[in-house]
Structure 1
Amino acid sequence: MTTAANSRTMMFSTGVRALLPARTAGSLVAARRQQGARGFHSSPMRRNTPAVAEQAVSAQTPLVHAASIDPTVATQTALQIGDLAKHGLDTYLPTRIVEYALEYTHVMTGLPWWATIAVLVVGVRVALFPVAAWSHRHQVRVNQVQPELKVLTAKQQVAGANGDVMTSARMMQEIKSFYKQHDVHPFKAMVGNLTTIPFMMGMFFGLRDMATLSFTHMSSGGLWWFTDLAAADPTYVLPVISCVGMMGVMELQTRLTSAVPPTQQMKMLMRIGSVVMVFLTSGLPASVFVFWVINNLCSLAQVLLFHSRPFRRVAGIPDIVPAKYARPPETALSKLNIKALLTKEKPTKFVVKRKL
């Protein structure tokens, strides 16, 4: 009975092979061999899932090739660490360090570019704060003794101009003794500003160069009205805020730090320079102004903190006493009373008539 059933099955399969094409019959045989002889069971036959996965991967392959060929698709990829170096942005040392810091912060945190700039600026200013406080303490000491120091310096310059070598050398020794007596030195007062110069230069040139490359995605990393950080601000709001903030920080720091108040000419010069800077820098990318605005806010907070009484007691910063006897030296223009000359009446001309 079983032999007859097997013979009928073989005859049926032979007939099917004869009716189907050779390629189709071969495919059926190969599939049958891979699955194994199952017989006539009621359980469903297992599907070949790896083949389905391979078809899905092969269906996505054209998209991958399109992304590698089409530059518009390739530019949508996220920025990776090392991309700036591949495009030749690692030029000078300060700029290179700042660009690496911006790239690492942006990639690791996933923040937009405006927040990346803010995080880096605030982090660097906080790291340099102890140096700035130490330098500010010496700057206050120098400003307190500035009137006396000007007198000694003027005597030394006069002696040098007259060719009096002995007097000039003696005055130089007095100036050194004066520095040691009051524990001041002009270089110590400038350390705080000198440490921030490389960072300021690196941020300026780095952000300016990064704005010219499309793969950095700075065109979509802005905020509010300046969403495009790679382009200039068409409203001129960022240049105005930046220059006004810089002028305010300079005037506030001069007023609170110096024992000698600035002259009106100096104030006017700083204000005119700030207005001119608005037009000179208006063509820069918005990312540069974001850096300047955040840096000005940090400087403003630092100046206010330096002049708070609790912080001054903790940091050992002396109080600033305005110098009453210190005034700028008179010049030829200041000696000339222009107002009196303009309001002075013309002299009366007396005509003497002679009798003939």
Structure 2
Amino acid sequence: MLSVPLRTAASFRFAPRLIRLSTTTTTNIALQTRNISSNDVFKVSDISASADLPPLPTPPAPGLSIDDLIASGESVLEELGLWSWWKPSSYFRYALEGIHVHLDLPWWLTIVSATVALRLLLIGVPVMSQKLVAKQSMYRKEMNEFRDRIDEARKENNQLLQQQILLEQRDFLRSKDIRLGRQFLVMAANGAVFATQFFAIKKMVVVNYPGLSTGGALWFTDLTLTDPYYALPFISAATMALVTKVGIEMGTSADQMPPVMRAFMTYGLPVVIFGVSSQFATGLCVYWTASNAVSLVYAAAFKVDAIRKIFGIPPVVPIPSSANKNFAISQVIKSYKDNRSIPPSLADLRQRDASSFKKAGRGKPIT
């Protein structure tokens, strides 16, 4: 027992500490548990078969192109951004597309056919216009007298007399059932129809609807370009001048208009239309020309007594042959000279004196 080496005794001295360390390590190892294994991660068959996961979605079927939809006779208005349920122009585009597809008409003839059909459906508007023209022609003499009296009062610079004459004219029109609101209604209805068709075709030209670039005829084969010969703009302006002259769209004829308005509608408006329409695509010019042609056909048809009786339009009282028929421009010049010769009123003199006083006060002092 005493012969045991000191080294062995020292090792026995540290033995309890080693035993405690080994025990602590064993305890820590026992507490470390693994909740998932690599088998659970790589089990693809079990994950796919799980009932908690939704099934894989099926890929969508490839959509048809614009050319395929047109070839199948389907509408492409929504694909091109040309359809809105609250816009009347969208329904007119739908009608154009239907006529072109189902009747197999070229695009220029499609525009003409749709324009004629819509104008025939709205035949009540020109009928109302002709009734207004006929009723105003019955009292042309009285209306001219009121206008002459107002001119005389204006020359005398008598504003009170002008107001009295206007009140008399208003009472006279009411007694004869001539209401200017109806004339405004006719103009508003024609403007709404024109705007609907105009913007419908314009948007189709802007997006280059398939077929418009080759749907023309004669010299205007491309309906998306302007007319290089200015023929269609000239025809549109000329036919519009004739429509204004016969008064089929405005509820009044040219001879019943004031001189300034008559001069503008006879000479100024066609020039404006020619300048504006020369910048439009030929598709719009085709529509404009077709619409004016329908108006002229209406004007010619309403000259037939049988047709007027069918629609209940009274006859138009012709202008007396002894009436002084001056040109509109000469009447405008005469009216301008008469207005220049009118003496200034007291209000005008006071305004001139006030302007001169302000100008003298702001000027340099007199030395």
Give yes or no for TM over 0.5: yes
Larger radius of gyration: 2
Alpha-carbon distance in 1 for matches of 2:127, 2:218:
34
Identity percentage over the alignment? 22
Match of 2:315 among 308, 314, 318: 318
Partner of residue 195 from structure 1, selected from 179, 183, 189: 189
Give 1:269 deviation, angstroms: 6.5
Unaligned runs of 5+ in 1: 1-64, 338-356
Equivalent in the alignment of 2:289: 293
Please report how far the alpha carbon of residue 304 of structure 1 lies from its aligned counterpart in structure 2 after TM superposition.
1.2
Which residue among 184, 204, 219 is the counterpart of 2:178?
184
Does 2:300 correspond to 1:304? yes
- Measured in 2, the distance between the counterparts of 1:316 and 1:113 equals 36
How big is each residue's C-alpha offset from its partner over 1:256-312, in whole Å with a ceiling of 9 and x where there is no partner?
945558869945773354234323322211110110111111011111112233333
2:335 pairs, out of 319, 331, 336, with: 331
Q: Distance in 1 between matches of 2:221 and 2:262?
A: 37
CA distance in 2, matches of 1:189, 1:265: 15
1:99 maps onto 2:103 in alignment = no
Residue 132 (structure 1) shift: 1.7
Q: Which one of the candidate residues 210, 218, 235 is aligned to 1:216?
A: 210
Q: C-alpha distance in 2, partners of 1:184/1:269?
A: 22
AA aligned opposite 2:115:
V
Change over 3 Å in CA distance of 1:195–1:325 after alignment to 2:
same
Distance 1:233 1:317 in 2: 42
The question of whether the paired residues in 2 share the 8 Å contact of 1:94 and 1:199 is answered with no
Rounded to whole Å, the distance in 2 between the matches of 1:238 and 1:89 is 26
Instruction: Kindly provide the CA deviation profile for residues 108-166 of structure 1, in whole angstroms up to 9, marking residues without a partner as x.
Output: 3332212221121111111111332133112321244255346557878979x97859x
CA contact (8 A) 1:147 1:326 kept: no
Aligned residue pairs, count: 266
Question: Does residue 126 of the first structure (1) align with residue 120 of the second (2)?
Answer: yes
2:82 is equivalent to residue 89 of structure 1: yes
Q: Structure 1 CA distance, aligned partners of 2:186 and 2:66?
A: 46
Find the aligned partners of 2:237 and 2:66 in 1 and give their Cα distance.
37
Q: In 2, Cα distance between the equivalents of 1:90 and 1:309?
A: 44
Matched, 1:225 2:219: yes
In the alignment, residue 234 of structure 1 is paired with which amino acid? P
Q: Contact 1:144–1:259 (CA<8 Å) still a contact in 2?
A: no
The match for 1:32 is none
Change (3 A) 1:131 1:278: closer
Q: Say whether residues 1:137 and 2:131 are aligned partners.
A: yes
With normalisation by structure 1, the TM-score equals 0.60
Aligned pairs for 1:141-152 (under 5 A) are 141-149=135-143, 152=146
- Give, in whole Å, the separation in 2 of the partners of 1:260 and 1:198: 24
CA drift of 1:227 comes to 1.8
SS at match of 1:211: helix
Structure-1 residue corresponding to 2:230: 236
What is the CA–CA distance in structure 1 between the aligned matches of 2:126 and 2:209, rounded to whole Å?
Answer: 36
Gap regions ≥5 residues in structure 2: 1-61, 326-330, 342-367
SS at match of 1:138: helix
TM-score when scaled to structure 2? 0.59
Q: Do the aligned partners of residues 143 and 134 (structure 1) sit closer, same or farther apart at CA in structure 2, a change above 3 Å counting?
A: same
Q: Do the aligned partners of 2:216 and 2:222 also contact (CA within 8 Å) in 1?
A: yes
SS at match of 1:216: coil
CA drift at 1:97: 2.8
Q: Paired residue for 1:5?
A: none
| Equivalence map 1:15-30=2 (5 Å) | none
Secondary structure of residue in 1 paired with 2:206 = coil
The equivalent of 1:8 in structure 2 is none
Aligned in 2, Cα 1:234/1:213: closer, same or farther, shift over 3 Å? same
Contact in 1 for aligned 2:137/2:318 (Cα 8 Å)? no
Match of 1:126, SS? helix
Letter in 1 for 2:83: D
Write the deviation string for residues 221-259 of structure 1: whole angstroms up to 9, x where unpaired. 1122222112222222111111111122223448x9455
Report the structure, 1 or 2, having the larger helix content. Answer: 1
Report the alpha carbon displacement of residue 101 of structure 1 after superposing the two structures with TM: 2.4
Change (3 A) 1:186 1:240: same
Match of 1:245 among 218, 239, 244: 239
